[in-house]
Structure 1
Amino acid sequence: MKTLQNLIGGTWEGSRGDAFHPVVNPATEEVVASCPSGSPEDVRLAVDAAVRAQPAWAALPVAERVGRLSRWADTIAAHAGELAEIECREMGKPVALGRAFIGGAAQGLKVAAAEALDYAFEETIPGPDGSSTTIVRNPLGATAVIVPWNFPVPMILGALGPLLASGNTVVLKPSERSPMSAVRLMELTDLPPGVVNLVLGDARAGAPLTADERIGLVHFTGSVEAGRKVGAQTGARLRRSILELGGKDPAIVDAGVDPKATAAAVAFGAFANSGQICTSMERVYVHRDVAEEFIEALVEAAATYTLGDGHDAGTVLGPLVDRRQRDLVVRHVTDAVERGATIRAGGFVPEGKGFFYPATVLTDLDDSMLVMTEETFGPIAPVIVVSSFEEALERAGASRFGLAATVYTADPAHMAAARRLPAGVVWVNQWQGGGPERLYEPAGDSGMGATGSRAAYDAATRPTSIHTAP
């Protein structure tokens, strides 16, 4: 069993704290690593290293920073299979799924970094009297990236590109539930020492990191409860934060769509990665005209999501990350059933080792049940039949969350109406669609701070206007 270490200023070091916790393979319940629980001293040293390294990194030409990041992305892509194997061991994701997402994230890092080549870090605007105003966008300095356990490598890469390409340095804290892939990711980098530092731990590392006065921005992805604490800390010290928090994303299935094809798409949106995706479809509103055929097809699709260890080629659905997460899923399903819901597929805890839960379809629900109001983060597709597209829009939008939403419709007017949904991203007829130019900001309790493409560069820099008289 390996004891994981921090990466501080280019050197691998043991934690200054004396507490450790086990990293458990959720498919076998075997301990696969020992992870530091973190300490303020670990954080202080990591921020020291980031602050020291930042001026020299920012002084490099933009093209050189982009080139370094692009080469790192190529290395990551070449090791996508290895990283996916590690993610499987630490949080259960099937290797094939992990490899696909890591490969896409490596390409995304290249694309995001390359946007720096066209970003206006300096722009001069002439005045009518011969004066000029030059707008210079400078990096913020040392920044922090805190990521969750469900997509450790892709989440890290998605945040790092604009921050590093803009000339910032980073202190990275992965989830204590899936730290091994982050460690290997840092072993694969050849960026200058201190440009990216890795500090491991739980809140004992996270809290002092977000409270450090020298951190100019915190990019946090995680729960609403933790996000509120991060926002309070950064707000109290007048620093920026980008918060991507929980979701309870709706999917609307309109009359006139192919119910079988749409059911297959919704099954993937609800069950992929065992439902442990921030933008998983967690509420499904289906028009009564297609409801019967859609539900039947969704139940059939659920049966194809075979449970097993993600290292096995035949596995489609791996385990949930740990017992705590499975207990939450069970609680949501139990609450729904006790209040009148019907289990159409799944809905039970399998025997044997591992934190498995099958693809589950629920009907006969109402919008007050836990499975319709709170983030479940499990392979559950709760389906409510509606009488009109307008009713579906209204019920889909009546949530405190607003991360993303998906609409399946063949009606052009309904496609246009989908933009009324209060969400950071709205997908029409294709879940997870869109390219690197996408900009978004979560709505409601799902977070704050616009990001993506140029918005990520705006967040990673601070503009200064320099007015020069003639």
Structure 2
Amino acid sequence: MKSLQHFIGGRWVEPADGDILTVVNPATEDAFARFGAASAHDVDRAVTAAVEAQPRWAALSVAERVDRINAWADTVAEHAAELAELECREMGKPVAVGRSFIDGSVAGLKAAAAQALTYPFAETVTGPDEVRTDIVRHPLGATAVITPWNFPVTMVLIALGPLLAAGNAVVVKPSERSPVSTGRLFELAEAVGMPPGVMNLVLGDGRAGGALAEHEDVQLVHFTGSVGTGRRVGAAAGGRLHRSVLELGGKDPVVIDAGVDPVATAQAVAFGAFVNTGQICTSMERIYVHEQIADAFVEALVAAAQTFTLGDGLEPATVLGPLVDERQRDVVRRHVDDAVQKGATLRTGGVVPQRPGYFYPATVLTDVDDTMLVMTEETFGPVAPVVVVRTFEEGLARAAESRYGLAATVYTGDPDHIVAATRLPAGVVWVNQWQGGGPERLYEPAGDSGMGATGARAAYDAATRPAAVHIAPTAPAANR
């Protein structure tokens, strides 16, 4: 069993006190790792280390900071297979899926760092009367990143690139359900000589996260997780008049037009609904399909779902790993049972297998409506509820009827329908694809899915504070 430590000020340390928490392999239900949960005192030590290290880090040139980040990224890439296996053991993601996302996030880290080389940390404009104005963007100082359990490696890499490249120091608090791979990321950062105190790691549950969000010296909190916790994090940061970037839950819709290939689209939707066992913030959780192709689409979706074989993600044949733990499986089962009890038709799946591990099969439901939990609350599991609509416009309207607004996907070949899709209330809208988008992608979630723009230049805007310096052409003459 692995024993984990905190990384504070360039040293691996045990917590001052606190409970011992255990990480369980969800495929076997065996204990995989253990660690002492950080207390408020440990969090304070980590923030203090960040505050002390940050000025020296900010004093480096942008190019020097980018070089350090790139060295870390290259080392992470060399260890991508190892990191994917750790993710599999701690939260169930099949290794091939984990490797794909890790490779993509390494590329994203390097692209985000490269943007620092062209970001306008200093701009000059000349106004009336030849008064020059310099706009200087300063790093914030000590920042915090609180990451979710479903993508422990990816979410750290995505968040840290702009924060570090802009000259901030960081304290990271991963989910207590999957901290092992994050710990390894910090070992790799130490190995490439990241300066002590620039990157700090505290392990723990919501108590550590709360202490971090409430700390008076944390100037920004970047949080990804549930709506309820996000509200508390945002309130804590706001109470200090500090910034927060919140990416919270989603109930992401898919709208499928009449003119698309129903079989190819069903295969794409199956991937979007079931990959990583549906444990992605942007998983396809509400599917609205035009009645003209509905029968063929549902038939193909059921067939595709049945190809998602259950198993331990360490096995190459596994397509669908376990859910992260029993608690999450109970949520998924409750949503499906609620739908069936209220009249939904179970087309495939929906039965917990009799085997060790927190498995749940790829599940397709039809005849669903908005009285059902599976259509209104985030399921975060391998469940695809399908609603048949009479028109594309009806599909768009129903897709927009949600308190969430993280992402949406539309399949259509009609140019006018593509234009209409851009008006969906979501931070990201994909048309005729799911996922995708390069380093230029910029978005802000809508509704209960969060707040704070991120991506591309917006990530640097959030990581810096602008100051205006007005300079007159001559100083006043001295009195004689």
Normalising by structure 2, report the TM-score: 0.97
What 5-or-longer segments of structure 1 have no aligned partner? none
TM-fit CA distance, 1:36: 2.2
Does 1:101 find its partner at 2:101? yes
Q: State how 1:335-414 maps to structure 2 within 5 Å.
A: 335-414=338-417
Match of 1:20 in 2: 20
Shift of 1:37: 2.4
Correspondence for 1:114 = 114
Aligned counterparts of 1:366 and 1:196: Cα–Cα separation in 2: 47
Residue 433 of structure 1 and its aligned partner are, at CA, apart by 2.0
CA distance in 1, matches of 2:152, 2:376: 26
Is the Cα–Cα contact under 8 Å of residues 260 and 294 in structure 1 kept in the other structure?
yes
* Seq. identity, %: 70
- Quote how far apart the aligned CAs of 1:367 are: 1.6
Secondary structure of 1:462's counterpart equals strand
1:144 aligns with 2:165: no
Structure 2: which 5+ runs fail to align? 474-480
Q: Residue 130 of structure 1: CA displacement?
A: 1.4
Shift of 1:17: 2.0
Equivalent-residue separation in structure 2 for 1:220 and 1:272 (angstroms)? 23
Distance 2:284 2:117 in 1: 36
CA distance in 1, matches of 2:148, 2:39: 19
Which residue among 244, 248, 251 is the counterpart of 1:248? 251
- Say whether 1:229 aligns with 2:232: yes
Q: Is the 8 A contact 1:35 1:179 kept in 2?
A: no
TM superposition outliers: structure 1 runs of 4+ over 4 Å: none
Is contact 1:257-1:409 (8 Å) kept? yes
The reply on whether 1:55 has 2:59 as its aligned counterpart is no
Q: Tell me the SS of whatever aligns to 2:422.
A: helix
Secondary structure at the counterpart of residue 129 of structure 2: coil
Task: Give me the whole-angstrom Cα distance separating, in 1, the residues matched to 2:456 and 2:72.
Answer: 20
Query: Residue 469 of structure 1: CA displacement?
Result: 1.1
User: Which string of whole-angstrom CA distances, capped at 9 and with x for unpartnered residues, describes residues 92-148 of structure 1?
Assistant: 000011011101111110000010000000001012311100000000000000000
1:460 aligned partner: 463
Q: Out of 448, 455, 466, which is 1:445 matched to?
A: 448
Counterpart contact for 1:137–1:462, Cα < 8 Å = yes
For the residue of structure 1 that corresponds to 2:125, the secondary structure is strand
**Separation (CA, whole Å) in 1 of partners of 2:245 and 2:4:** 28
Equivalent position SS for 2:434 = coil
Counterpart secondary structure, 2:468: strand
Post-superposition shift, 1:71? Answer: 1.0
What is the letter of the counterpart of residue 303 of structure 2? E
The number of equivalent residue pairs is: 470
Deviation of 1:22 after TM superposition, in Å, equals 1.1
Partner of 2:176: 176
Partners of 2:246 and 2:458 lie apart in 1 by: 14
Residue type of the partner of 1:186?
Answer: F
RMSD in angstroms over aligned alpha carbons?
0.6
Question: 1:263·1:297 contact (CA, 8 Å) conserved in 2?
Answer: yes
- Is the Cα–Cα contact under 8 Å of residues 35 and 176 in structure 1 kept in the other structure? no
Q: Does the residue aligned with 2:402 lie in a helix, a strand or coil? A: coil
CA distance in 2 between partners of 1:410 and 1:207 (Å): 47
1:71-86 matches, cutoff 5 A: 71-86=71-86
Taking the aligned partners of 1:127 and 1:342, their CA distance within structure 2 comes to: 67
- TM-score relative to the length of structure 1: 0.99
**For 2:468 and 2:138, how far apart are their aligned partners in 1?**
11
Matches within 5 A, 1:246-395: 246-395=249-398
